[in-house]
Amino acid sequence: MSEMITDEYLHNLISAVEDEGAEAKAFSASYTLAKGVKVPTASQRVLYSFSLANPPRLQEESRGRLAVRGLNVECTVISRRSDGLDVATFVDLGQELESAVLTVDRSEILSVLAARLEGVRSGSHQTPFNRALAGQVVRLSDGEPGVDESFISAPDDLTSDQKEAFRRAIQNRVTYLWGPPGTGKTVTLSAIAFYLFCHNKRVLLVSHTNRAVDGIAHGLCKRIVGKSRASIPEGSVVRIGNISRKGLATSFGAQVSLESLADLQQRKIRDRISAVRKEREANAAEIATLREQYALTARKGVLEGELAELQKLLADVRSSESGLSTVLRVLRIRYGTGDGRGGSIGDIKRSIQSVTSEILTVVSQLEHVGSAEELCDQIDAAEARERELEESLRDLEVLAEDPSAASLDRARVVACTATQAVLRYASLGEFDVVIVDEASMLPLPYVVFLAGMAREKVVVGGDFRQLPPIALSRSPASKMWYARDIFEVAGVVDLVDRGGVSPYLATLTTQFRGHEKLAALINDRFYGGRLIPTRKTPDAAVSEGDSAGLFNNSVTVVDTSAL
């Protein structure tokens, strides 16, 4: 079994992040953006798409400020495209923007990441961090997995290599999924997520970019609704951040967007607050009624005592006329009867009648009312309910201030970028499984932190033959602990280069995207001939003339050295 992540390991990661943050702060700069167009989105934020010939390499979810027509508003870089940037803000700046200036502080998220890692090292975070599982992720285990080896049925729509990857991900505590271009890594990860969803596991889907997150989330949603196109169970899947893929936004945006779910949750919370307040008013009225009834029962007891006393006095007076004047004075003072001039036994009788009449009135008011003991029990129960309603009202009012927290608490699957996972760590809660896509592009500290958020299982997907993590700092700490990807650190790359195999590594080899000759461009050079193309013939040629060769051949080499 792999060792846990140590304090020393965390210290090294923190030092690397701090070095990168210091370098990033020096690189914080302003960029002039031309021609921005507002685009539809399921989020409450307003999204602007800017066209740029050479967009700056900015990390998604980077925060900054957008200067437009004298206004300076907070914004977030949602995605970097090959032809521009998508920037979101809570301020509607109009349908079109002729130009804008974007200023980004790249160090902000790194400061948060360093603080999160320090919280793990010091143990100050309230949310548990799984050091053992994080330790497994950074060291490729030897031997056979010590897990359930029972057969797991994979979805029929997966290829044989995808099914094998699916089974390993379900059985292992840690699985590395190597998915070269066009081999269906997104399809496989969404199938894994769906299996876990159906088995009531709480899952975090996270990636380097919003587009990659949307790909897995879209595949998961399509599997949940199935051919019947049923609705996704309300609040079970939550997408944090701006949805980049049109397919997900159009088909499921309102059902999974955190903003949409938070709006719905807030309406429900407000309705519940109104209902609790009405119940509280009714309960208070019931308490007042019960207390009045209890007071009447007490009054009835007093009156019955007075009646008994009067009846005794009457008997005493009849047997001893000498004390009559004294008794009548008492009656006059207490009941207003007697004329004060001596009176007669009749005054005592009238007092008895008055008391008896009042007793009858009280008795009629207490009809169908229980005993004093029963009323005490009912008052105690109503007062206890009053305390419960007050507590419930306080909790609801807190939720009303941040309805997104309630939406996240209920979610079985949360999908977001690595940046959002770090920023929202305290509010996300615990997860049974963390699935990391594009992990080869994520700096090591991010992957370690994300892995520690899982209780049971981590699936690490990516392609270490593509772009590695981007680092600005050239410090030894950054090169060692920030700029290397998880596949290299864990020993996966070395294993593959040696031709080795591991039960914890699954490789996708069926290539769907390009036909055979195009696949050969990368297959032999980068993937050791592992890729098996499914398309054997190129698309039909569509062009004639001097440029026909560009379209008639699968691969055309153009020498531009003389230009």
Q: What is the pLDDT of residues 291-349, one digit of tens each?
A: 877 777 777 677 677 667 767 766 766 666 555 566 666 666 666 655 544 446 676 67
Please name every residue paired with 515 in a beta bridge, in sequence order, or none if there are none: 535
Run of H or E including 32: strand 29-39
Left, alpha or beta for 512 (phi > 0: left; psi -120 to 50: alpha)?
alpha
pLDDT at residue 106, rounded to an integer: 77
Place of tokens 């602990």: 481
pLDDT at residue 122, rounded to an integer: 92
* Buried/exposed 15-53: b ≥16 CB within 10 Å, e otherwise: bbbbbbbebbeeeeeebebeebeeeebbbebbbbbbebe
Q: Residue 328 and residue 318: Cα distance in Å, rounded?
A: 13
pLDDT, average across residues 48-72: 85
Q: Residue 252 and residue 264: Cα distance in Å, rounded?
A: 15
Assign 145 a pLDDT band (cuts: 50, 70, 90): low
What is the reported pTM?
Answer: 0.73
* For the ranges 52-61, 146-155, 243-252, 531-540, the one whose mean pLDDT is highest: 243-252
Neighbours of 171 (CB within 10 A): 17
Q: Which tens digits make up the pLDDT trace of 470-505?
A: 898 999 999 999 999 999 999 999 999 999 999 999
**Strand, coil or helix: 46:** strand
Q: Answer whether residue 458 shows pLDDT above 50.
A: yes
